[in-house]
Amino acid sequence: MRKIDILIVALFALGCSCASAQGLLRANNSNRSLGSDSIIAVVEDRVITRAEIMKEVEPFIPQIRQQARSEFEFSQRVNAYMREIVQNMIDRELIVKDFKERGMSIPQSYLDTHFDDYLNKEFNGDRAEFIKFIQSQGKTIKQFRADQEKDIIVGYMQNQKRQTAAEISPQKIKEYYEANKSKWYSAASVKIRMITLKPGMNKTMEDNRKLASEIESRLKKGEDFAELARKYSRDDSSARGGEWGWYKKGELNPLLDKEVFAIKVGEVTSPVEIGEMIFILKLEDKKGDGIQKIDDVREQIEWTLVEQNGKEMYKKWVEGLRKKAYVKFYE
Protein backbone atom coordinates (compact mmCIF):
# COMPACT_ATOMS: atom_id res chain seq x y z
CA MET A 1 0.00 0.00 0.00
CA ARG A 2 1.39 3.38 -1.00
CA LYS A 3 1.96 5.82 1.87
CA ILE A 4 1.79 9.59 1.66
CA ASP A 5 4.22 11.20 4.05
CA ILE A 6 3.44 14.86 3.61
CA LEU A 7 2.67 17.63 6.05
CA ILE A 8 -0.98 18.40 5.40
CA VAL A 9 -3.73 20.15 7.25
CA ALA A 10 -7.40 19.36 7.42
CA LEU A 11 -9.19 22.09 5.52
CA PHE A 12 -12.59 20.74 6.50
CA ALA A 13 -13.42 21.00 10.20
CA LEU A 14 -16.96 19.98 10.97
CA GLY A 15 -16.91 21.97 14.20
CA CYS A 16 -16.79 21.20 17.90
CA SER A 17 -19.75 19.33 19.34
CA CYS A 18 -21.62 20.12 22.52
CA ALA A 19 -24.58 18.51 24.25
CA SER A 20 -27.24 17.53 21.73
CA ALA A 21 -30.29 19.69 21.12
CA GLN A 22 -32.73 16.82 20.91
CA GLY A 23 -36.10 17.74 19.56
CA LEU A 24 -35.03 21.31 18.69
CA LEU A 25 -36.50 21.07 15.22
CA ARG A 26 -39.31 19.12 13.68
CA ALA A 27 -38.88 17.11 10.52
CA ASN A 28 -39.51 19.01 7.32
CA ASN A 29 -43.20 19.06 6.41
CA SER A 30 -44.12 17.16 9.56
CA ASN A 31 -45.56 18.02 12.98
CA ARG A 32 -43.91 14.98 14.60
CA SER A 33 -40.77 15.56 16.69
CA LEU A 34 -37.99 13.15 15.76
CA GLY A 35 -36.02 11.25 18.37
CA SER A 36 -32.30 11.86 18.81
CA ASP A 37 -31.52 8.40 17.36
CA SER A 38 -33.48 8.92 14.14
CA ILE A 39 -31.54 8.34 10.94
CA ILE A 40 -30.95 11.32 8.66
CA ALA A 41 -28.98 9.58 5.92
CA VAL A 42 -26.94 6.52 5.00
CA VAL A 43 -23.83 6.78 2.85
CA GLU A 44 -22.34 3.41 1.87
CA ASP A 45 -22.28 1.65 5.26
CA ARG A 46 -22.13 4.85 7.35
CA VAL A 47 -25.29 5.89 9.23
CA ILE A 48 -25.73 9.60 10.01
CA THR A 49 -28.14 10.31 12.88
CA ARG A 50 -30.04 13.39 13.90
CA ALA A 51 -28.16 13.47 17.21
CA GLU A 52 -24.84 13.82 15.35
CA ILE A 53 -26.14 16.69 13.28
CA MET A 54 -27.66 18.55 16.23
CA LYS A 55 -24.35 18.40 18.09
CA GLU A 56 -22.79 20.26 15.19
CA VAL A 57 -25.65 22.75 14.88
CA GLU A 58 -26.21 23.67 18.52
CA PRO A 59 -23.14 25.93 19.01
CA PHE A 60 -24.45 28.14 16.21
CA ILE A 61 -28.07 28.32 17.38
CA PRO A 62 -27.68 31.66 19.26
CA GLN A 63 -26.08 33.29 16.22
CA ILE A 64 -28.74 31.94 13.85
CA ARG A 65 -31.53 33.06 16.19
CA GLN A 66 -30.04 36.55 16.40
CA GLN A 67 -29.95 36.84 12.62
CA ALA A 68 -33.46 35.47 12.06
CA ARG A 69 -36.38 37.91 11.93
CA SER A 70 -39.05 35.32 12.79
CA GLU A 71 -39.46 31.79 14.09
CA PHE A 72 -40.17 30.63 10.55
CA GLU A 73 -36.92 32.16 9.26
CA PHE A 74 -35.05 30.71 12.24
CA SER A 75 -36.37 27.25 11.43
CA GLN A 76 -35.50 27.66 7.74
CA ARG A 77 -31.95 28.78 8.54
CA VAL A 78 -31.34 25.93 10.97
CA ASN A 79 -32.70 23.35 8.55
CA ALA A 80 -30.52 24.76 5.75
CA TYR A 81 -27.47 24.57 8.00
CA MET A 82 -28.36 21.01 8.96
CA ARG A 83 -28.59 20.02 5.29
CA GLU A 84 -25.17 21.57 4.68
CA ILE A 85 -23.64 19.60 7.56
CA VAL A 86 -25.24 16.36 6.36
CA GLN A 87 -23.85 16.91 2.87
CA ASN A 88 -20.38 17.68 4.29
CA MET A 89 -20.47 14.45 6.31
CA ILE A 90 -21.55 12.46 3.26
CA ASP A 91 -18.86 14.01 1.09
CA ARG A 92 -16.22 13.32 3.73
CA GLU A 93 -17.10 9.63 3.77
CA LEU A 94 -16.99 9.45 -0.03
CA ILE A 95 -13.62 11.21 -0.19
CA VAL A 96 -12.13 8.90 2.43
CA LYS A 97 -13.48 5.88 0.54
CA ASP A 98 -11.97 7.11 -2.74
CA PHE A 99 -8.65 7.81 -0.99
CA LYS A 100 -8.44 4.27 0.35
CA GLU A 101 -9.59 2.69 -2.91
CA ARG A 102 -6.61 4.39 -4.56
CA GLY A 103 -4.40 2.38 -2.22
CA MET A 104 -3.31 5.40 -0.19
CA SER A 105 -2.96 5.82 3.57
CA ILE A 106 -1.70 8.31 6.14
CA PRO A 107 1.41 7.10 8.02
CA GLN A 108 0.63 6.17 11.61
CA SER A 109 3.58 8.30 12.76
CA TYR A 110 1.99 11.37 11.19
CA LEU A 111 -1.39 10.61 12.78
CA ASP A 112 0.25 10.20 16.19
CA THR A 113 2.12 13.49 15.85
CA HIS A 114 -1.02 15.27 14.67
CA PHE A 115 -2.97 13.95 17.66
CA ASP A 116 -0.22 14.90 20.13
CA ASP A 117 0.02 18.40 18.64
CA TYR A 118 -3.74 18.84 19.00
CA LEU A 119 -3.65 17.63 22.62
CA ASN A 120 -0.85 20.04 23.49
CA LYS A 121 -2.31 23.01 21.64
CA GLU A 122 -5.94 22.70 22.74
CA PHE A 123 -5.56 21.13 26.20
CA ASN A 124 -1.98 21.97 27.15
CA GLY A 125 -1.23 18.25 27.16
CA ASP A 126 -3.86 17.53 29.83
CA ARG A 127 -5.25 14.16 28.78
CA ALA A 128 -7.90 14.16 31.53
CA GLU A 129 -9.38 17.42 30.21
CA PHE A 130 -9.28 16.07 26.67
CA ILE A 131 -11.16 12.93 27.72
CA LYS A 132 -13.84 15.05 29.41
CA PHE A 133 -14.18 17.01 26.18
CA ILE A 134 -14.65 14.01 23.90
CA GLN A 135 -17.01 12.37 26.40
CA SER A 136 -19.17 15.50 26.19
CA GLN A 137 -19.32 14.78 22.46
CA GLY A 138 -20.32 11.17 23.07
CA LYS A 139 -17.10 9.89 21.49
CA THR A 140 -14.25 7.62 22.44
CA ILE A 141 -10.59 8.44 21.82
CA LYS A 142 -10.62 5.89 19.01
CA GLN A 143 -13.59 7.60 17.35
CA PHE A 144 -12.03 11.04 17.79
CA ARG A 145 -8.78 9.92 16.18
CA ALA A 146 -10.69 8.30 13.33
CA ASP A 147 -12.41 11.64 12.71
CA GLN A 148 -9.05 13.39 12.75
CA GLU A 149 -7.73 10.97 10.15
CA LYS A 150 -10.73 11.62 7.91
CA ASP A 151 -10.26 15.38 8.17
CA ILE A 152 -6.59 15.00 7.24
CA ILE A 153 -7.51 12.86 4.22
CA VAL A 154 -10.07 15.42 3.03
CA GLY A 155 -7.50 18.19 3.42
CA TYR A 156 -4.96 16.22 1.44
CA MET A 157 -7.35 15.45 -1.40
CA GLN A 158 -8.44 19.09 -1.60
CA ASN A 159 -4.82 20.13 -1.79
CA GLN A 160 -4.23 17.62 -4.60
CA LYS A 161 -7.02 19.17 -6.65
CA ARG A 162 -5.54 22.64 -6.11
CA GLN A 163 -2.14 21.46 -7.28
CA THR A 164 -3.71 19.88 -10.38
CA ALA A 165 -5.31 23.25 -11.16
CA ALA A 166 -2.06 25.18 -10.66
CA GLU A 167 -1.13 25.37 -14.36
CA ILE A 168 -2.51 28.69 -15.61
CA SER A 169 -1.68 29.83 -19.15
CA PRO A 170 -0.50 33.41 -19.86
CA GLN A 171 -3.55 33.83 -22.11
CA LYS A 172 -5.93 33.03 -19.24
CA ILE A 173 -4.13 35.57 -17.04
CA LYS A 174 -4.40 38.21 -19.76
CA GLU A 175 -8.11 37.51 -20.32
CA TYR A 176 -8.83 37.79 -16.60
CA TYR A 177 -6.85 41.03 -16.38
CA GLU A 178 -8.73 42.60 -19.29
CA ALA A 179 -12.10 41.53 -17.91
CA ASN A 180 -11.40 42.86 -14.41
CA LYS A 181 -9.32 45.98 -14.98
CA SER A 182 -11.28 48.00 -12.42
CA LYS A 183 -9.95 45.66 -9.72
CA TRP A 184 -6.42 46.79 -10.43
CA TYR A 185 -6.94 50.52 -9.94
CA SER A 186 -4.36 51.88 -7.53
CA ALA A 187 -4.12 55.30 -5.88
CA ALA A 188 -0.91 57.29 -6.27
CA SER A 189 1.79 55.96 -3.97
CA VAL A 190 5.22 56.91 -2.67
CA LYS A 191 8.22 55.02 -1.40
CA ILE A 192 9.80 56.91 1.49
CA ARG A 193 12.59 57.13 4.00
CA MET A 194 11.97 59.01 7.21
CA ILE A 195 13.89 60.50 10.13
CA THR A 196 11.86 60.74 13.33
CA LEU A 197 12.90 63.01 16.20
CA LYS A 198 11.09 62.93 19.52
CA PRO A 199 11.67 64.16 23.08
CA GLY A 200 13.61 61.96 25.47
CA MET A 201 17.14 61.28 26.62
CA ASN A 202 17.38 64.87 27.94
CA LYS A 203 16.28 66.30 24.57
CA THR A 204 13.55 68.91 24.57
CA MET A 205 11.36 69.96 21.65
CA GLU A 206 13.60 72.97 21.11
CA ASP A 207 16.66 70.71 21.04
CA ASN A 208 15.02 68.60 18.35
CA ARG A 209 14.11 71.68 16.30
CA LYS A 210 17.77 72.67 16.27
CA LEU A 211 18.79 69.10 15.37
CA ALA A 212 16.20 68.98 12.58
CA SER A 213 17.55 72.23 11.17
CA GLU A 214 21.09 70.83 11.30
CA ILE A 215 20.03 67.59 9.57
CA GLU A 216 18.20 69.58 6.89
CA SER A 217 21.34 71.66 6.26
CA ARG A 218 23.55 68.56 6.05
CA LEU A 219 21.16 66.90 3.61
CA LYS A 220 21.27 69.97 1.35
CA LYS A 221 25.06 69.66 1.34
CA GLY A 222 24.70 66.12 0.00
CA GLU A 223 25.08 63.92 3.07
CA ASP A 224 23.46 60.49 2.85
CA PHE A 225 19.90 60.40 4.21
CA ALA A 226 20.15 56.74 5.27
CA GLU A 227 23.28 57.37 7.33
CA LEU A 228 21.73 60.34 9.09
CA ALA A 229 18.62 58.27 9.77
CA ARG A 230 20.69 55.51 11.35
CA LYS A 231 22.40 58.07 13.57
CA TYR A 232 19.55 60.37 14.58
CA SER A 233 16.16 58.76 13.90
CA ARG A 234 14.26 57.45 16.92
CA ASP A 235 11.93 54.83 15.47
CA ASP A 236 11.99 51.18 14.38
CA SER A 237 13.20 52.04 10.88
CA SER A 238 16.45 53.70 11.96
CA ALA A 239 18.46 50.48 11.60
CA ARG A 240 17.22 50.26 7.99
CA GLY A 241 18.35 53.79 7.23
CA GLY A 242 14.85 55.17 7.76
CA GLU A 243 13.29 52.97 5.07
CA TRP A 244 9.51 52.80 5.38
CA GLY A 245 8.53 51.35 2.01
CA TRP A 246 5.46 52.17 -0.09
CA TYR A 247 2.40 54.15 1.03
CA LYS A 248 -0.71 55.01 -0.95
CA LYS A 249 -2.05 58.55 -0.94
CA GLY A 250 -4.12 59.02 2.21
CA GLU A 251 -2.38 56.31 4.26
CA LEU A 252 0.11 58.66 5.93
CA ASN A 253 -0.70 61.38 8.44
CA PRO A 254 -2.37 64.20 6.43
CA LEU A 255 0.51 66.64 7.11
CA LEU A 256 3.13 64.13 5.99
CA ASP A 257 0.97 63.05 3.05
CA LYS A 258 0.68 66.64 1.83
CA GLU A 259 4.42 67.31 2.11
CA VAL A 260 5.75 64.12 0.53
CA PHE A 261 3.33 64.13 -2.42
CA ALA A 262 4.35 67.73 -3.19
CA ILE A 263 8.04 66.96 -3.82
CA LYS A 264 9.93 65.17 -6.58
CA VAL A 265 11.72 61.83 -6.42
CA GLY A 266 15.04 62.28 -4.62
CA GLU A 267 13.94 65.41 -2.78
CA VAL A 268 13.53 65.84 0.99
CA THR A 269 10.72 67.57 2.88
CA SER A 270 11.27 70.38 5.34
CA PRO A 271 10.95 69.27 8.99
CA VAL A 272 7.29 68.55 9.79
CA GLU A 273 6.09 68.93 13.39
CA ILE A 274 3.24 66.74 14.60
CA GLY A 275 2.61 67.02 18.31
CA GLU A 276 5.94 66.63 20.07
CA MET A 277 7.55 64.80 17.15
CA ILE A 278 9.45 66.07 14.12
CA PHE A 279 9.66 64.23 10.80
CA ILE A 280 11.89 64.62 7.76
CA LEU A 281 10.96 62.54 4.72
CA LYS A 282 12.81 61.61 1.56
CA LEU A 283 10.89 60.59 -1.56
CA GLU A 284 12.60 57.47 -2.94
CA ASP A 285 10.11 56.65 -5.69
CA LYS A 286 6.63 57.59 -6.83
CA LYS A 287 3.78 56.02 -8.79
CA GLY A 288 0.82 57.86 -10.21
CA ASP A 289 -2.75 56.69 -9.80
CA GLY A 290 -4.34 54.46 -12.43
CA ILE A 291 -4.68 50.84 -13.52
CA GLN A 292 -1.72 48.71 -12.47
CA LYS A 293 0.22 47.00 -15.25
CA ILE A 294 -0.47 43.33 -15.84
CA ASP A 295 3.06 42.40 -14.77
CA ASP A 296 2.47 44.04 -11.38
CA VAL A 297 -0.63 41.92 -10.69
CA ARG A 298 0.22 38.76 -12.65
CA GLU A 299 0.99 36.69 -9.53
CA GLN A 300 -2.19 37.86 -7.79
CA ILE A 301 -4.29 36.92 -10.84
CA GLU A 302 -2.59 33.54 -11.08
CA TRP A 303 -3.42 32.75 -7.45
CA THR A 304 -7.04 33.82 -7.99
CA LEU A 305 -7.40 31.57 -11.05
CA VAL A 306 -5.71 28.64 -9.30
CA GLU A 307 -8.17 29.01 -6.42
CA GLN A 308 -11.16 29.21 -8.79
CA ASN A 309 -10.02 26.26 -10.90
CA GLY A 310 -9.21 24.22 -7.82
CA LYS A 311 -12.68 24.77 -6.36
CA GLU A 312 -14.31 23.89 -9.68
CA MET A 313 -12.25 20.71 -10.12
CA TYR A 314 -12.93 19.71 -6.53
CA LYS A 315 -16.66 20.31 -6.96
CA LYS A 316 -16.84 18.19 -10.14
CA TRP A 317 -14.78 15.43 -8.56
CA VAL A 318 -17.04 15.24 -5.48
CA GLU A 319 -20.14 15.31 -7.66
CA GLY A 320 -18.71 12.33 -9.53
CA LEU A 321 -18.16 10.48 -6.26
CA ARG A 322 -21.77 11.15 -5.26
CA LYS A 323 -23.09 9.69 -8.50
CA LYS A 324 -21.21 6.43 -7.99
CA ALA A 325 -22.03 6.03 -4.29
CA TYR A 326 -24.93 4.59 -2.36
CA VAL A 327 -26.56 7.53 -0.54
CA LYS A 328 -30.03 7.48 0.94
CA PHE A 329 -31.77 10.35 2.74
CA TYR A 330 -34.49 9.72 5.29
CA GLU A 331 -35.73 13.33 5.54
**Average of per-residue pLDDT across 73-97:** 92
pLDDT at 242: 95
Residue 168 confidence (pLDDT): 82
User: Would you tell me how many other CB atoms lie within 10 Å of the CB of residue 314?
Assistant: 20
Angstrom distance (rounded) from CA 314 to CA 17: 27
Give the pairing type, strands 290-291 and 185-186: antiparallel
pLDDT of residue 9: 28
Angle at 192 between CA 190 and CA 193, to 5 degrees: 175
pLDDT of residue 201: 67
pLDDT of res. 169:
86
196-205 burial, b at 16+ Cβ within 10 Å, e below that, comes to bbbbeeeeee
Which one, of 268, 270, 208, 207, lies nearest residue 233 by Cα?
A: 208
Give mean pLDDT, residues 145-159: 92
**Quick one: average pLDDT of 98-122?**
93
Lowest mean pLDDT among 104-118, 211-225, 238-252, 297-311: 297-311
Q: Is the pLDDT of residue 295 over 80?
A: yes
pLDDT tens across 21-41, in order? 233 333 333 333 344 468 888
Cite the residue boundaries of each domain of the chain with CATH code 1.10.4030.10.
Answer: 2-167+311-329
Alpha helices in 127-197 (DSSP H): 127-136, 141-164, 170-179
Provide the pLDDT for residue 165: 67
Beta carbons of 280 and 268 less than 8 angstroms apart: yes
User: Given this model, what pLDDT does residue 202 score?
Assistant: 73
Q: Compute the distance between CA of residue 3 and CA of residue 110 in angstroms, rounded to an integer.
A: 11
Beta-bridged to residue 108, according to DSSP, are: none
Secondary structure (3-state) at 4: coil
Q: Per mean pLDDT, which range of 3-17, 37-51, 187-201 is the poorest?
A: 3-17
- Cα 296 to Cα 177, 261, 299, 300: the distances in Å are 11, 22, 8, 9
State yes or no: pLDDT of 6 exceeds 70. Answer: no
Strands 104-105, 2-3: pairing kind: parallel
Q: Work out the average pLDDT over 178-190.
A: 91
Averaged pLDDT score across all residues of the chain: 85
Burial category of 7 from C-beta neighbours within 10 Å (exposed 0-12, middle 13-18, buried 19 and up): exposed
- Across 154-180, average pLDDT: 86
Query: Domain spanning 2-167+311-329: which superfamily?
Result: Porin chaperone SurA, peptide-binding domain (1.10.4030.10)
- At 308, the pLDDT band (50, 70, 90 cuts) reads confident
- Domain 188-288, CATH 3.10.50.40 — does that match? yes
Domain boundaries for CATH 3.10.50.40 within the chain: 188-288
CA 5 – CA 161 distance, rounded (Å): 17
Confidence of residue 331 (pLDDT cuts 50, 70, 90): low
Give one word for 122, left, alpha or beta, with left for phi > 0 and alpha for psi -120 to 50.
Answer: alpha
Of residues 330 and 210, the one with the higher pLDDT is 210
